[in-house]
Structure 1
Amino acid sequence: MSSPSTPAGDLAFVVRTIARTAVDNEGAFGDLDAVAGDGDFGYSLARGFEIVLADWDTLDPGTPDEFLKKVALVISKRVGGTSGPLWGTAFLRAAGAVKDRTELDAADAVAMLRAAAEGIKARGKSDLGDKTLLDALIPMTDALEQRLAEGGPGAGPAELAALAASTARTSADATTSMQARRGRQSYTGERSIGSPDPGAVAVAVMAERVAAEWDVRD
């Protein structure tokens, strides 16, 4: 893996952390999905990201767009249910946001997240307020974009990672009172009210782990 002091190394760290988090939380994500869904979210996500980790040495984070495209391909092929197309599209759109770029910065991170969210919107025909992972991903992206626009002290990578994590967690928790309008949970109607959306929680847990491990990344 690239040195963590480089932009490519930072991207690789984030993607690898996402993958590890998906695998480590298979049971927790599945249990949460079982409350109002079919319970396969954790299993599906873990199976895809296991392959990402197993094939890690074949991926080249030094070319960000190609790296993300390869991850997208694995996810699309290996993750079952609706999660595969959505998460695969997210990585593919993120790749498009940094096409032909070799040096990345915080603005590129926002661009990748924004592109991922727009891809999920289009593929899942969903939006903010539908009780999906977008309800954590979009507010997190908005918060980062606003912080970068403000500039000044406290806009370093570690601080931005912490902001992403806290915003994603608050936003994921807020989905508890929502009624699902997309995905399998929407089939249960009002029964979807009272538990947070598994996808939004996954985004929050992943962001929290990135923030927690940022200063000790390898």
Structure 2
Amino acid sequence: MEYSKPWATLVPMLSEKNRLLRIEWGKKNENIHWCHVVFADEASFWLKPGRVRLWTKRNRKVIQLTTKHSAKLHIWAAFSSMGTFPLCFFRRNMDATFFVNILEWHLIEQAEVFHGQKWFLIQDNDPKHTSRIAKAWMEKNMKKNQRKWPSQSPDLNPIENIFGWMKQKLYKDNFTSLVQLEKRIQEIWDYITPEFLAPYYKSMSHRCRLVVEQNGSKINY
């Protein structure tokens, strides 16, 4: 058996400026206490995913029917060495104000339960995360709990690996409603323990070294 029609993995194109920023970030952060870092991001889950891996006999043509515009759920998720944070499910488009509400409701209290005042948030440079509204709120409420992030660097954030693992488990099942999909996402999230998360946050020093060694290019994570 072999995979019938492999597709390329899409990765961000890195400019020279981005590579230099990634190198600088790797050097600066290799030796920080990653056990106190909160990794956060958003992800989308489709009721009927638009592409499915199919394993077939060699030279056999396969047609896989999919839904062009499937219903979907979005989540905001976060984790640290102490465990996962409460998921936030939403179906609307996220704007800066809604993003700030998520941080207020789902981030700060749990981060302080886990780490007291000794925690830092890492998230990408999505426009909602870096908007004027978000920056002003974070400056007021968590000024000392932020770390800068190099652009175009999903390979440096282990929560992307968690999302990939979740989708592998999730799309083994078929769902007929968003209610079922949400329930299963929550079940998978609840399965995650601090022991499960340990290899992910402990990989960060190695990721930092690799990005420096590879001159800022994408690393294999």
Q: Give TM-score scaled by structure 2 length.
A: 0.27
Structure index of larger Rg: 2
Q: Going by fraction, where is strand more abundant, 1 or 2?
A: 2
Relative contact order higher in (CA < 8 Å, ≥ 6 apart): 2
Q: Going by fraction, where is helix more abundant, 1 or 2?
A: 1
Q: Give TM-score scaled by structure 1 length.
A: 0.27
